Each structure stands twice: as structure tokens, then as C-alpha cells.
Chains A and B, each alone.
Chain A
Amino acid sequence: MSLGYVLGLIGVSSAVILAGIGSAIGIGTAGMAASGAMSEDPKKFGKYLLLIALPGTQGIYGFIIAFLAFGKLAAIGAGADSFYKGFSLMLACQPIAWSGLFSAIWQGKVCAGGVGMTSKQPNESGKAMVMAVFVEFYAVLGLIISIFALG
């Protein structure tokens, strides 16, 4: 057990925790909006489902990175460079942690807006999805950089 290992662990957990928090808030916002809309029109559940689920992807990305990083934890060892190895592992987790946190929250808002739009214009739900996916894009960038950094 070394300081490097602890730092690595902090990185792993931050990827799951921060991205998870973001997804939870995002889904919460979108979900509230969807339930509000469905209280007047329950038939549109299918259309809202994707919009509610979309902010959840950041949590999954965080989980993937955490999983990958977890595999590297063992390689940190207790050598002289273990601190640097652990620290860089932690840093590698940060892109998805933070981009996941904020992009999920904002994506939740976009999705909630999309729910509102879909309830007025049922045929335009695709456009609402596209807008939400734009936000998703930045979470994906974070994910890619995290993967590269881990690699």
C-alpha cells in the first residue's frame, strides 16, 4: 500500500462519483419534466423514455473509466515512482469525471426542455434528441481523453 495507490483509488472513485452525480441530477431533472408532462398525457411515455435515459450515459462512461483504471491500480506497486503512477492515474480519470458531471446536469436540462417541446410538438422529438446529443458529445470527448490517458 502506497500513497500512489491511494491517489489512484481517489481517481477511480471520482470518475464514478462525479459522473454518477451528474447523471443522477440530469435524469432527475428530465424525469421530473417527463412525469409532469405525462400527468396530462401519459401516452407519450415512449417518446420521453430516450430523453430521460440520455443523461444516464455519463454515469456509464464514468463507470467504464473507473473499471479500466481499476485494472491499472495493481500495476502501481510500491516502487519509488508509485506516487507518480498513482497521481497520473488519478489525473487520467478526471476528464470523464468533470465533463460527465457538468454535461449530465446540463443534458438533463436540455432533455427536460425537449420533453416540454415533445409534449407540444410530438413529431419533433427527434430534434430534441439531437440537441441533447450535442451535450453528450462533450462527455464523449472526456471519455476518449480519459481512455487515451489510461492507455
Chain B
Amino acid sequence: MYFNGINFKDNSEYSYACAKIRALENKLLTRNDFIRMLDLDNEQILQYLIDHNYHVEGIDPSDVNFLQVFSNEWSSVVEMVTEMLDNEMINKAVLIKYDFLNLKILVKTSIQNDEERQNVDDIKLFQVTTVPGDDLKEIFFEGNFDRLPDYLKHEIKVFEQIENISPSAVDIILDKAMYSKLLDFANKSGSEFLYKYYQRLVDLKNLLNLFRLKSLNKEFKDYSMILMEGGLLDTSTLSKLYAESMDMIVNRLHYLDYYNELKAGFDYYEQTNSLSEMERLFDNWMIEFVKTGKMVLFGPEAIIGYYFAKENELKNLRIVLTGKENNLDKEMVTERLRENYV
């Protein structure tokens, strides 16, 4: 399935990386694996993960800290992928997500009350980023922002000018900035695939947020604040839609590629008053999109695709394990599992 005829360039430089990715794709967990895991105990699950190439060095098998396993695995995946891509812009377009997350944590710490504030040394930040977390922390608290790359410097300067900012505004400003930077880097990297991925992601997020804010009875003002530019759906179209009722919005958007997902998600919302199904279907749609990267024999697409597939896999794993740990209803867990990449 080709989405709007993306022109995938052939690039034999990536033949080593792509063949490695192909072999790694074999080890990705499938839906059946996840369902089977629901009946296993922790030790067996750990064995399962080891069989699927998870990095579990230094993990005590009798008392498994899965969060640790996940974050180890994730940083090793990020490291491997960025090394394979070996393209500064693509790497930035993948990594600055975590720079911005670090930045959010730091800004929020700085506006916290004194009694709630964490000790500076206790703040845990992501290290696999374009600016390592520890450096960012140091720069942030010293106030020496000139050492930061431009794309982060500008955002911090924004916060210096605002006083009494609400925590959600911190997120909103930084999220918006992050997506515009992601799109920008993806565009500059020349990877059409990545750029189109982010465009569609922005669209889906805008659309999902539209429904979320409407279901929370928020005003249009709030929505216009979080509406992100750069997607394929025009922001003015979405703004106009906000005034309409939800089922009208769904009808109006019948021309979208993901209309079926939208409709099914909305039907679920009408029954249960929860948008979780829409979110899941949108996630699935993005995975469907990422799957087109597999068609490319050699090129960054397959690697980027693997990166998103792994992100998705970890999400599914977390769903399974949290469900198991807290004895959530199995049906509830399985119906929230996301589509698989392989």
C-alpha cells in the first residue's frame, strides 16, 4: 500500500543496516505473543523478551523491574537507529522529541512551589538526545542558554518572558514548538517518508485533540491554542469545525484517508464516552503508514519504520504488563493493544 505515491529513493548505502533491520523485524513481538504473555509469570515473560533480543543485562530475574528493561531497550534502540541512519537531520527529527521532554521537565520544575520542588540532582532526564540531559540540566540552571542549539534556545527564551505560566501552557507551547521543529528537520533531512509521517501525525493529533477538547467541554480558545500548523489538514478548516457538533464533524471529514478509523472511533465514543478507541485506531493508522517503509529495499525508511515499530511494541508491552500487574480485565487489555508492524 503506497500512501499518495511517495517516491522512495533507492539507496544502497543502507544495505547493511536494512538487512540488519529485516533480521531484527523477525524478532518483533506479534499480537499473539502479547496475548500469550498475559498468562505467563514475570520470569517467563523475561525469558520471552530475552528470546526476542531484549537487552536485559543486570536485571534480576527473580524480581524483574520491567520499567528498567523498557528504558534500557529503548535507549539501545535509539542508539542503534541513530547510528544506522547516520544523518544529522534525520537523527534530530527523531531525537528532539526527548530534548523537548527534558525541557518540559526542567521548565516545570522551575515553576513548581518551593516545597514541592525536587532536588536538582534528583531530576531524571533522558540522555539519548541531541543535547544530553545532564548538559541540558546544567545549562538550564546556570542560565547560560547561548550554549544550546538554536532550536532549543528560542523556546527557553519564550519562557523567560512569561510570568505565572500554567503547567498546561508549558506543555502546549513546547509541544507545538516540538512538532514544528520535527517537521522542519524532517523536511530538511530530505526524507520524504519521515516528513510525510510527521505531517500525518500532526493531522491526527489535531483531529484527536479536537474531539478531546469537545468532550471535555472546552472553548474554542483552548483549541486554537493547541492547534498545530504543518499538517495536511488546514488549521482554518479545523478551527471552523470546532463550532459544530461531533457527529457533524465526522460527516464533514468523510474525504479523509482515515475516515473509517475516525468513524469507528466516534461510534465507540458514543457508546462508552471514551475516545480511547479513536486514539488506538489512529495509532494503528500511523503504523499502517509506517509499514510502507518496509517496501523500500534500502533506505532510511526501513530503519525509521523499525524505530516507530519498536516504540509501538514497547507501548503494547507496557499495556500487557500493567494489565497483568494490576489484574485488569483481559479483554480490556487486549482491546487496547495496538496494531503490529510485522
> Is there direct touching of A and B in the complex, by C-beta distance under 8 Å?
yes
A contact residues vs B (CB 8 Å cutoff) = 29-30, 32-41, 108-109, 112-113, 115-117, 119-120
Q: A40-B27, A40-B53 are in contact. Are A120 and B22 (CB under 8 A)?
A: yes
Does any Cβ of A come within 8 Å of B250's Cβ?
no
Does any Cβ of A come within 8 Å of B285's Cβ?
no
Q: A109-B297, A116-B297 are in contact. Are A40 and B20 (CB under 8 A)?
A: yes
Report the count of interface residues on B (CB-CB < 8 A): 18
Binary contact track B236-251/A, C-beta < 8 Å → 1, others 0: 0000000000000000
Given the complex of chains A and B, what is the CA–CA distance between A35 and B12 in angstroms?
14
Given the complex of chains A and B, what is the CA–CA distance between A114 and B10 in angstroms?
15
Instruction: Please name all residues of chain B whose beta carbon is closer than 8 Å to the beta carbon of A115 when the two chains form the complex.
Output: 19, 22
Does any Cβ of A come within 8 Å of B4's Cβ?
no
Binary contact track B17-49/A, C-beta < 8 Å → 1, others 0: 111111111110000000000000000000000
A13 → B minimal CB distance (Å): 26
Given the complex of chains A and B, what is the CA–CA distance between A108 and B16 in angstroms?
13
Report yes or no: A40 in contact with B18, Cβ–Cβ below 8 A: no
Report yes or no: A119 in contact with B15, Cβ–Cβ below 8 A: no
Report yes or no: B15 in contact with A112, Cβ–Cβ below 8 A: yes
Given the complex of chains A and B, what is the CA–CA distance between A109 and B18 in angstroms?
12
A47 → B minimal CB distance (Å): 12
Out of B10, B23, B27, name the residue touching A36 (CB < 8 Å). Answer: B23
A-B contact pairs, 10 of them (CB 8 A): A33-B15, A34-B19, A35-B16, A36-B15, A40-B27, A109-B10, A116-B19, A116-B22, A119-B26, A120-B26
Binary contact track B193-222/A, C-beta < 8 Å → 1, others 0: 000000000000000000000000000000
Report yes or no: A37 in contact with B12, Cβ–Cβ below 8 A: no
Report yes or no: B23 in contact with A40, Cβ–Cβ below 8 A: yes
Report yes or no: A36 in contact with B18, Cβ–Cβ below 8 A: yes
Report yes or no: A112 in contact with B26, Cβ–Cβ below 8 A: no
Most buried by A among B19, B21, B23: B19
